[in-house]
């Protein structure tokens, strides 16, 4: 019994198997038909995160895991001014899918492109009219009065203050 390599997943399997036991790729048809598929390399790209975004930290975490960059280097990489960032290039289909799944598990939008294709994303520009926390970027907040203070008493107690429900940060509206 000889072992052959599956053309889809790259794992060793028996030459007598009708399909790959790991990925289900049909082997009998593939052996009778001459291979006409040209292997194309893929690249994985994510949108750039300039400013506060709840996806920035998970994106930095996955970029560090994939590329082996340091924290500061990965942060600069993710915050590039370009509308998109190419994380890795020259990948097989399976490698690109694994990387995209890592990003999607962290809630980061990632896409696979052919290496020779231009990368285009739908622009997710931040709406200026949506209020978000200046610290974490969350849009879940509570608006309420500042309240009484032992030091200042009732001075300024009627002013409105926004409190982030995610991180607890407090800020004045319009700042």
Backbone angles phi, psi at 42, to 5 degrees: -120, 160
Please give the share of the chain, as a percent, with pLDDT higher than 70. Answer: 77
Question: pLDDT at position 34, please?
Answer: 46
pTM exceeds 0.85 for this model: no
- What 3-state class would DSSP assign to 106? coil
> For residue range 15-53, what is the model confidence (pLDDT) as tens digits?
888 888 888 788 775 444 444 445 578 888 888 777 777
> For residue range 49-91, what is the model confidence (pLDDT) as tens digits?
777 778 888 888 998 998 888 888 888 888 886 777 888 888 8
Q: Tokens representing 119?
A: 């990368």
> For residue range 101-124, what is the model confidence (pLDDT) as tens digits?
998 898 888 888 887 776 665 544
Label each residue of 163-175 as H, E or C: EECCCCCEECCCC
Q: Are strands 42-47 and 160-164 parallel, antiparallel or unpaired?
A: unpaired
Beta bridge partners of 43: 89, 113
């Amino acid at each position: 019994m000889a072992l052959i390599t599956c053309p889809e997943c790259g794992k060793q399997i028996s030459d007598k198997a009708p399909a790959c036991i790991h990925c289900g790729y049909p082997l009998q048809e593939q052996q009778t038909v001459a291979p006409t598929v040209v292997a194309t390399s893929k690249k994985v790209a994510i949108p750039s995160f300039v400013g506060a975004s709840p996806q920035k930290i998970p994106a930095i975490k996955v970029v560090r895991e994939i590329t082996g960059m340091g924290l500061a280097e990965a942060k600069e990489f993710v915050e590039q001014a370009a509308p998109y960032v190419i994380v890795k290039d020259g990948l097989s289909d399976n490698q690109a899918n694994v990387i995209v799944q890592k990003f999607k598990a962290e809630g980061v939008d990632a896409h696979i492109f052919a290496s020779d294709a231009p990368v285009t994303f739908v622009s997710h520009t931040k709406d200026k009219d949506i209020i978000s926390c200046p610290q974490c970027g969350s849009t879940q907040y509570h608006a309420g009065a500042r309240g009484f203070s032992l030091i200042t008493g009732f001075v300024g107690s009627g002013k409105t203050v926004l409190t982030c429900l995610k991180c607890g940060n407090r800020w004045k509206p319009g700042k």
